[in-house]
Amino acid sequence: MTKFNELGVSAPIMKALEKMGFEEATPIQAETIPFALEGNDVIGQAQTGTGKTAAFGIPMIDKIDSKLRKVQALVVAPTRELAIQVAEELNRLAKFSGVRALAIYGGQHMDRQIRALKDGPQIVVATPGRLMDHMRRRTIRTDVVQTAVLDEADEMLNMGFIDDIREILKSIPEDRQTLLFSATMPKEIRNIATTLMKSPKEVKVKAKEMTVENIEQYFIEIPEKFKFDTLNNHLDINSPELAIVFGRTKKRVDEITEGLQARGYRAEGIHGDLTQGKRMSVLNKFKGGRVDVLVATDVAARGLDISGVTHVYNFDIPQDPESYVHRIGRTGRAGRTGEAISFITPREMAHLQLIEKTTKSKMKRLVPPTNQDALRGQQQVTIDKILKTIEKKDLKSYHAAANDLLEDNDSVSVIAAALSLLTKERRDAPVKISSVAPISVKKAQRSKDNNRRSNNKRFYGQRRDSGGRNQGGRNRKGNFQRRNRD
């Protein structure tokens, strides 16, 4: 484990790191920071949730002249939510450095952004489209930019932003430093990327698997029409603190959300058709715990760092293995544990193997839980509450009433009635989710050819069957520890 002061990090940043509770550098930080401080271009690839933001943020901030109130670093990110989050993390890191980061994204008033830009932030974190707008209007000057960062580089290139990115980079002084980061970096994308950089150093954290080991990965083989009830049962059994459910299309996300709400869950959906205001308010409710289940298309997958996400459900498996990696990576962050459960229809089983092969990790088979298991799960929540109350609360004032009850009734009936009153049973609302075609293996094959990474032959006949209830709260040693949150 490496301490940050061994990496040549400045005193103001050390102070910020201490405040943020970062005790040791993660592997990607330990490897990238010295390279980047020397001025090298870097392509950084490391698993989800392992601190890539600070890996590029720390050296970037340390290079900035805090007295110069001009944009000296530009970070480009694929989504608005991510731009906001990255700017927040950079501002925490730069708190004592006299440096400020501003997020700039579509869907927000131009005038407001122009005013904020005039205030002189030294770092701008932007989505590509809006950044191009500002550059064309000359409301962002890039003449003294010395660092450019592409966060989630492969996604931006996949989304067809390559020409925008080229144009953005062309307008930045040539002697700039370019840093490029993602948890996944298909070869083609890396090749394109190198044409935008100067003899980049590749920092790839050597990990056996593309996914972090603190995420337990499961799959359930299940016909399309049973997916929704199975999801309900699972939520009841696991009572996740926060869960994200990924659906393939916007329509699907809407239907799952409405269905979950009808059954009494605190669920909200998020996808690209919602206004920026709505997307932010849903995310904030989820972060604040006022929504327990976030139903999302891949919009929410890239880069979002929400602490407390204990479960990720792939209601539909994603088309490409990279999306799988980013989706499940919303849990198990910063050394915490998490579970990912993927619903796979029988015809999609070949696709599961493709994902496993690419990520070099295995999913364990789960048998679909029954309604009975689900009820038991909910009852267990009540039992836990009762036991806690016995332990923590002085119940003497209830003793007389309890004794009265037991005089005329047997104890099992009394407790069963109390349990039934306290248990939140799922509402029995009818829910219909329109069915979608299974992911075609032919397409999957194409994507495998595109992303071939490993020739490892694997034997798939050895999955361990494990029954209904998962064991939560495993304590695995993560990559790093954190004392407290800022």
Ligand X SMILES: Nc1ncnc2c1ncn2[C@@H]1O[C@H](COP(=O)(O)OP(=O)(O)OP(=O)(O)O)[C@@H](O)[C@H]1O
338 counts as binding ligand X under rule CB under 6 A? no
Q: How many CB atoms lie within 10 A of CB 88?
A: 16
Report the site for ligand X in 81-140 (rule: CB under 6 A).
Answer: 89
158 counts as binding ligand X under rule CB under 6 A? no
Q: Is 430 helix (H, G, I), strand (E, B) or coil?
A: coil
327 counts as binding ligand X under rule CB under 6 A? no
* 74 phi/psi in degrees, rounded to 5: -125, 130
**Residue among 196 and 334 whose Cβ is closer to ligand X:** 334
Report the residue from 292, 305, 316, 348 that binds ligand X according to the rule CB under 6 A.
305
359 counts as binding ligand X under rule CB under 6 A? no
Report the residue from 246, 313, 343, 480 that binds ligand X according to the rule CB under 6 A.
480
Q: How far is the CB of 342 from ligand X (least distance, A)?
A: 18
Q: 465: buried, middle or exposed (CB in 10 Å: 19+, 13-18, 0-12)?
A: exposed
Contact between 40 and 176 under an 8 Å Cβ cutoff? The reply is: no
Q: Quick one: what does residue 257 bind among ligand X, Mg ion, none, with the CB cut-off 5 to 8 Å set by partner type?
A: none
**Residue among 60 and 237 whose Cβ is closer to ligand X:** 60
Dist CA 3 CA 28 (whole Å): 13
Report the site for ligand X in 186-245 (rule: CB under 6 A).
Answer: none
Residue ranges of E strands in 10-100 = 42-45, 73-76
Q: How many CB atoms lie within 10 A of CB 347?
A: 14
**Residue among 85 and 378 whose Cβ is closer to ligand X:** 85
Q: Quick one: what does residue 22 bind among ligand X, Mg ion, none, with the CB cut-off 5 to 8 Å set by partner type?
A: ligand X
Report the residue from 51, 59, 121, 128 that binds ligand X according to the rule CB under 6 A.
51
**Residue among 48 and 113 whose Cβ is closer to ligand X:** 48
Report the residue from 70, 287, 347, 482 that binds ligand X according to the rule CB under 6 A.
482
* 472 phi/psi in degrees, rounded to 5: -85, 175
Question: What mask of x and - would describe binding to ligand X in positions 11 to 30, judged by CB under 6 A?
Answer: -----------x-xxx--x-
DSSP 258-300: HHHHHTT--EEEE-TTS-HHHHHHHHHHHHTTS-SEEEE-GGG
31 counts as binding ligand X under rule CB under 6 A? no
Report the residue from 128, 186, 329, 369 that binds ligand X according to the rule CB under 6 A.
329
Residues within the interface to Mg ion (CB under 5 A): 52, 303
* 76 phi/psi in degrees, rounded to 5: -110, 130
State the helix-helix crossing angle for 227-238 and 250-262, rounded to 10 degrees: 60
Q: Is 31 helix (H, G, I), strand (E, B) or coil?
A: helix
In degrees, rounded to 5, the angle at the alpha carbon of residue 189 between the alpha carbons of residues 51 and 170 is: 90
**Residue among 42 and 374 whose Cβ is closer to Mg ion:** 42
Contact between 357 and 456 under an 8 Å Cβ cutoff? The reply is: yes
Q: How far is the CB of 25 from ligand X (least distance, A)?
A: 5
Which is nearest to 246 in space by CA: 304, 293, 195?
A: 293
Residue nearest to ligand X (CB): 51
**Residue among 135 and 149 whose Cβ is closer to ligand X:** 149
Structure tokens at 342: 């993927």
User: Which residues of this chain interact with ligand X, rule CB under 6 A?
Assistant: 22, 24-26, 29, 46, 48-54, 89, 183, 303, 305, 329, 333-334, 480, 482
